[in-house]
Amino acid sequence: MNVLFVAAEVAPHVKTGGLADVAGALPAALRSVGHDVRVIMPRYRSLREQGTPVTGPLGASFLPVGVRAEEQRIWRAAATDEPLYFLDIPAAFERPAIYGEPDDARRFILFARGVLDAMQYMREVEGWQPEVVHCHDWHAALVINYLKSYYAYTFGHIATVFTIHNLAYQGQVHPDVAHLAGLHEGGLVEQGMGPGIANSFNFMARAILYADVVSTVSPTYAREIMGAEYGERLDGLLRSRQDRVTGILNGIDTTVFDPHTDRHLVANYRVSEMRGKAACKAALQERLGLTVDPARPVLGIVSRLVEQKGLDLLHAVLPWLMRETDAQLVILGSGHAYLQEAFLRRAEQHPGRVAVRIGFDAALAQQIYAGSDAFLMPSRFEPCGLGQLISLRYGSVPIVRATGGLADTVREGLDGNGFVFHRYDPKDFGDAIWRALQCYRDQPSWAMVRERGMREDHSWATAAQQYAGVYQWARRLIGRG
């Protein structure tokens, strides 16, 4: 099939989160099994400043937004076989920020209009058009709304798929934005939406309503968002379309995340030869000022330091962890200032046992996966989660809360690959850590749990097959499959 991916960020070009990993890896996996997948994203200032090689401009036009029109030029990534297009819209993206600007609504209206303009260019100049348009998160949501309304005559034969990576970020803005977008036809069905949604302009809600198929990044998250607890006031709208909602687990890039070849590690290892992992643990302890002791369990966490990721639970159990166990704790991440400061204080109080690094360091992250014995993900909610998939591959046994993709990938028990708790409660989290530490004391049992996780396949190949099935489903729904 011909598939057009639309995303606000694509790794390795621009990345702020997991969306970029999906938009960077899934198209390649789909291409490897014969699909013609092209990707389109904004050309941010950072891309221009870092000298990302491009060819073009391939076309230039003006995009309407409200009573004005803004210039767009289309570029294509050069020096690569990857069919990736950059939309150069200076009014929207010639600035330092990726997100978080006061005019984000206007910026991503322009992006959506630019995508439709680029689709016309591809069809008329390059002789290529998609059979499926696959849009990701609220920044790309209006592409689907436009395809199903103003562009229905031109592109009505194209199936649409919308993927929700995190329902909490919806692009909900003032209702007057409808006029700015030229979408004041009042087409959003106000069925079952929570207070404040139906009388706003909500980018994501529009994509959920108009897409032929809606996907999320794990099967459990797809079920969770049908209820009020996780539905972020869109659960009624989602239930009205539940026969078109599915969940597909993300994968990881198994060439990047491979302890056998990872150049950031002091020693490489694999499931059949684990000696290198002990060297990685000692190197991590030494680098971060922890007591170098192979017998002490090292617990690692690489995360945004926010409550969604369960960092308030971790802070609550830390005194118990220091008092009742001999475990060491390594934290890498950034986020809410009060959590950063709280963990830094704990590191000062427990030298040799707690190490905290604020910010993100890709090499150190890999070293934490390799050097830790267990990996903590006590998330309040987690649409998919990549950390537990990476930790499984690196032999760092995950300790997680059973939510979203964590529930789909981590199991406790006779066939387990980790340790799981259910209630969002410090005691339950502490109990899961205690069970893990008890297992760690029985090294043959620990090795069996670790080996099960390392042997699992969480590559993108499985997800690519499932998405190809979703594309066929979407095409059948519009009578094209």
Cβ neighbourhood burial of 210 (10 Å; 0-12, 13-18, 19+): buried
Q: Are residues 172 and 316 in the same domain?
A: no
Q: Are residues 325 and 352 in the same domain?
A: yes
Q: pTM of the entire structure? A: 0.92
133 touches 2 (CB < 8 A) = no
183's CB contacts (< 8 A; 6+ apart) are 142, 145, 146, 149, 206
Give the separation between CA 78 and CA 127, rounded to whole angstroms. Answer: 20
Reply yes or no on whether the pLDDT at 467 is more than 80: yes
**Predicted pLDDT at 318:** 97
Q: Are residues 204 and 132 in the same domain?
A: yes
Beta-ladder partners of 39: 5, 84
- Coil, strand or helix at 280: helix
Is 31 a member of any domain?
yes
**164-200 residue pLDDT tens:** 999 999 999 998 899 899 987 544 544 445 555 667 8
Is 297 a member of any domain?
yes
Is 124 a member of any domain?
yes
Give the separation between CA 298 and CA 226, rounded to whole angstroms. Answer: 37
**64-87 residue pLDDT tens:** 998 899 999 999 999 777 899 999
**Predicted pLDDT at 374:** 98
**Predicted pLDDT at 146:** 95
79 touches 98 (CB < 8 A) = no
Q: Residue 289's domain is classified under what CATH number?
A: 3.40.50.2000
Is 281 a member of any domain?
yes
The H or E element containing residue 60 is strand 54-65
**242-256 residue pLDDT tens:** 999 999 999 998 988
Q: Are residues 213 and 336 in the same domain?
A: no
Is 191 a member of any domain?
yes
How far separated are the first and last CA of the chain, in Å rounded?
A: 11
The H or E element containing residue 360 is none
Is 262 a member of any domain?
no
Give the separation between CA 156 and CA 208, rounded to whole angstroms. Answer: 17
Beta-ladder partners of 55: 76
Is 367 a member of any domain?
yes
Q: Are residues 292 and 365 in the same domain?
A: yes
Q: Are residues 287 and 176 in the same domain?
A: no
Q: How are strands ordered across the β-sheet holding 36-42?
A: 54-65, 68-77, 84-88, 36-42, 2-6, 132-136, 159-164, 213-216, 245-247
Q: Are residues 213 and 296 in the same domain?
A: no
Per the rule left: phi > 0, alpha: psi between -120 and 50, beta: everything else, 66 is left
Is 266 a member of any domain?
no
Which stretches of 33-176 are DSSP H helices?
45-49, 90-93, 104-124, 141-147, 152-155
Q: Are residues 10 and 22 in the same domain?
A: yes
Q: Are residues 398 and 420 in the same domain?
A: yes
Reply yes or no on whether the pLDDT at 474 is more than 70: yes
Q: Are residues 80 and 213 in the same domain?
A: yes
**What's the pLDDT band for 360 if we cut at 50, 70, 90?**
confident
Query: Whole domain around residue 117: which residue ranges?
Result: 2-251+461-477
Indicate the number of domains in the chain.
2
Q: Are residues 182 and 286 in the same domain?
A: no
Q: Are residues 466 and 429 in the same domain?
A: no
42-46, 108-112, 359-363, range with the lowest pLDDT: 359-363
